[in-house]
Structure 1
Amino acid sequence: MSVSSGRKTIRILRAELDKLMTLPWIWTAVTVTFLVHLLLTAAFTSASLQEGAAAPGILNTGLASMSYLQAGFIILGILAACSEYTGGQIRTTLTVIPWRGRQLFMKHLALTLITIPAAFILTASGVLYAGWRLDGHAAGVEPHEVIQALLGATGYLTLTTLLSAAIGALLRRTLPALVILLGYYFIISPWSRGLLPAYFPDTAGRYMYLLPSSGELNVLTPVQGAGILMIWSVSLVAVAIVVYRIRDA
């Protein structure tokens, strides 16, 4: 008798999780990102103390490295999507799992299950470190604000990882995907932030974890920012699945 659809889906998810968990570059990317994040957080915290800023914010200081931290998760998503194409392993995968759409969807789901705890641990470590160093020097922060910021930062990094994986799946090559995404996030977007609307993925996503300033125009709420970034990520994943199903390996 044939295996039920549900059990088949679970087996595919387990296979994708096993592949990602045993991929050395995945853990290298996470480890390097964690170390760089702690170094940057320490630098930003020390700068806040040395400048003698009046009551620096724990959340602003602890999450100050987010613009750099996202690079590690962009690389994580691209590596997860493109690693099988490097040595031609994708042919073996498609021979064993011929259901292309389901296989790629499960790959993104497996990547989500890995990214969420990694993103939460990294962002929480930055906030905890800033809270420890700024103890007695920082403005008070409510517990619900900390939870909201951490959940928003975790969601932003997770959705950014999925978006990057979708681009990687479309391009199937690591270097072009890195050039396009890192070029956008670190060159095009910062340079044109005042010109482009707030509906681009990184611009909208930053409102998931940052409290907007009182004088800022066209401010999005955390929910609106999350919704816009989710639309970008889900749409690109859907496009990647459609293209993946109709083209050759």
Structure 2
Amino acid sequence: MSVSSGRKITQILGAELDKLVTLPLIWLTLIGTFILNLVLAAAFTSAGLQGAAGTQSILNIGLASMGYLQAGFIILGILATCSEYTGGQIRTTLTTIPWRGFQLSMKHLALAIITIPVAFIIVASGVLYALIMMRDTAVGFEIDTMIKTLVGATGYLTLTTLLSAAIGALLRRTTPALVILLGYYFVVSPLTRDFQPKYFPDTAGSYMYMPPSSDEINVLTPMQGTGILMLWTLIFITAAIVFYRKRDA
């Protein structure tokens, strides 16, 4: 890669990072997600303390909010790619950065750079709260198991965010993207999970951080779950880039 090409990519990445970190809705979403996670962690921990806490894993209780937590990251991904269309800023972006493929690719990379540390902090906060409150009653865990679980949960939320951003780029409208994704993750998938294949994004991705039950058939390993969710994400990102390059702003 030439120096000029490398500098071009770096400049585009910097511009996309700057747009994301200066967008108020991004920070409101992240702060709201963090607060929601603490509230849910407190609720699940309290329920665990009042029930059979001695037989429960701290990790399971600390991660019990993941099903709800992903909503914040779905919204984050959609806002990252749809926000420029709301006020017509996309025209300014494409005038300044005419290389559409690079621009959208760097937007997803910038989103990943922001999401990874934030997702880790939010996930770890729930586990840490459960650990502090249930250290004398709940079943403990090994440090390496905790690290693998936190990394898996962080990876799941990051890939979910990028997949949502790609779908947002395809639809270019915030409301339809929210309706489709939230409807799938919180209505369609829970209702059909007992008989649907395990290769859909949310189902496969859940194996990245939650150990499968011993009575499950055709369970996936964390690496298989990661690979499947990553494949879904790459497919939607590729489709978003192809359509982004071919159609008008």
Which interval holds the TM-score relative to the shorter structure? over 0.9
User: Which residue matches 2:128?
Assistant: 128
Name the Cα RMSD after superposition. 1.0
Q: Which stretch shifts more, 196-205 or 132-141? A: 132-141
Q: CA deviation at 1:140?
A: 2.1
Secondary structure of the structure 2 residue equivalent to 1:228: helix
Question: What TM-score, normalized to structure 1?
Answer: 0.98
CA distance in 1, matches of 2:218, 2:62: 25
Q: What's 1:199 paired with? A: 199
In the TM superposition, residue 133 of structure 1 has moved relative to its aligned partner by: 0.4
Percent of aligned positions that are identical:
69
Could you say which residue in structure 1 is the equivalent of 2:190?
Answer: 190
8 Å contact kept, 2:53–2:138: no
1:94-243 superposed matches below 5 A:
94-243=94-243
Equivalent pairs, count = 248
Q: Which structure 2 residues correspond to residues 23-42 of structure 1 after superposition, within 5 A?
A: 23-42=23-42
Cα displacement string for residues 45-82 of structure 1 (whole angstroms, at most 9, x for unaligned residues):
00000113333211000000000000000000000010
Once residues 91 and 143 of structure 1 are traced to their aligned partners in structure 2, the CA distance between those partners, rounded to angstroms, is 49
Which range moved further: 103-112 or 133-142?
133-142
- TM-score normalized by the length of structure 2: 0.98
- Equivalent-residue separation in structure 2 for 1:26 and 1:3 (angstroms): 32
Deviation at residue 3 of structure 1 after TM alignment: 7.4
Once the two structures are superposed, residues 23-62 of structure 1 have per-residue CA deviations (whole angstroms, 9 ceiling, x without a partner) of: 0000000000000000000000000001133332110000
- Supply the distance in 2 between the matched residues of 1:43 and 1:218 (Cα, whole angstroms): 32
Gaps of 5+ in 1: none
- Cα distance in 2 for residues equivalent to 1:105 and 1:36: 30
The C-alpha deviation readout for 1:128-168, integer Å capped at 9, x for no partner, is 10000001111120111100100000000000000000000
Moved beyond 3 Å, runs of 4+: none
- Show structure 2 runs of 5+ residues with no match: none
| Residue 13 of structure 1: aligned partner | 13
Which amino acid is 1:60 matched to?
Answer: N
Query: Offset at 1:218?
Result: 1.2
Residue aligned with 1:54, SS:
helix
